[in-house]
Structure 1
Amino acid sequence: MVELVTAHPSGGYILDELRVGMAADKTVHVTEERIRLFAEASDDFNPVHLDEAFASKTAYRGRIAHGLLSASFGSAVVGTILPGAGSIYISQTLGFHLPVRIGDDVDVRITVISVDQDSARVELNCEGFVAGKKIMDGVAVVRVPRRRRPQKG
């Protein structure tokens, strides 16, 4: 059973608050600017992402977003909603199924699939959709804080 959650009031869930089935969603609009900024940040200037004339001659028949740009939307959920602040990526598998284009809305869902109390790690099912079609999926392993830092002041 899936239990859709929002960001924890503290900014992040701690290990004892996480349960299998907890999930969080986020929708991100893909823009020309996001693709350009991702190219700058990643140093990936593949013309299939940036040059319409080049990309129109590929199997995709036009520009597509970087796969890892779409995957980074999942990272945004992990870092800000579930588990949230203080969580650290350990690993991530990824499968890309369909291209993402400028103007698409990517709907990301992150779902807790296991909680390991001994290692303070959780496994998260990561999925992305455009117009209801799965564009990517994978599993992340994330380390989660065991307790919150005390407030100062």
Structure 2
Amino acid sequence: MELVTTHPSGGYILEELHPGMAAEKVIHVSDERIRLFAEASDDFNPVHLDDAFASKTAYRGRIAHGLLSASFGSAVVGTILPGAGAIYISQTLGFHLPVRPGDDVVVRISVISVDQESARVELNCEGFVDGKLIMDGVAVVRVPRRRRPAKD
């Protein structure tokens, strides 16, 4: 695995990508982030927002929205690897463990394959809390073949 950082241009182009490239980002799951996601998604399930309700569920406490945690992959795809200009085509997801308020999620995106003809890249997407896999899946994204010229 070759850990990369944000490209100086803001995004890697298709020809710069190869299997084994990876990027990581740590995202803190705050109460505020959960509340804002509930508002953005219109998902006000009390398991995410109400301590009393959530304490009586199988999770014994509040958990973050699964799709909130999954959206952290988009943060890496859109800003680091491949970065600016990458467009999601598809995403599979598997949720393994709950994410709770106060957790730090480590999101790791790695390049599985690059299709030069279709300008699509297949990415392995994983999320971890305290070293435990909480979610995983595979994304397909379209990547620019060239950079936009700089504006003068």
TM-score scaled by length of structure 2 = 0.99
- Counterpart of 1:152 in structure 2: which amino acid? K
CA distance in 2 between partners of 1:124 and 1:152 (Å): 31
CA distance in 1 between partners of 2:132 and 2:147 (Å): 38
1:32-83 per-residue CA deviation (whole Å, 9 max, x = no partner) reads 0000000000000000000011111100000000001001111100000000
Structure 2 SS opposite 1:68: helix
Equivalenced residues, count: 152
CA distance in 2 between partners of 1:122 and 1:75 (Å): 14
> How far is the alpha carbon of 1:15 from its aligned partner?
0.2
| 2:92 corresponds to | 93
| 1:150 corresponds to | 149
> How far is the alpha carbon of 1:113 from its aligned partner?
0.2
| 1:130 corresponds to | 129
CA distance in 2 between partners of 1:151 and 1:101 (Å): 42
Structure 2 residue 106 is the aligned partner of structure 1 residue 104: no
> How far is the alpha carbon of 1:152 from its aligned partner?
1.4
- Counterpart of 1:81 in structure 2: which amino acid? I
CA distance in 1 between partners of 2:3 and 2:108 (Å): 10
- Runs of 4+ with >2 A deviation: none
CA distance in 1 between partners of 2:37 and 2:22 (Å): 26
| 2:32 corresponds to | 33
CA distance in 1 between partners of 2:41 and 2:85 (Å): 23
Structure 2 SS opposite 1:78: helix
CA distance in 2 between partners of 1:13 and 1:43 (Å): 34
- Counterpart of 1:71 in structure 2: which amino acid? A
- Counterpart of 1:46 in structure 2: which amino acid? N
CA distance in 1 between partners of 2:24 and 2:98 (Å): 20
> How far is the alpha carbon of 1:3 from its aligned partner?
0.4
CA distance in 2 between partners of 1:145 and 1:41 (Å): 29
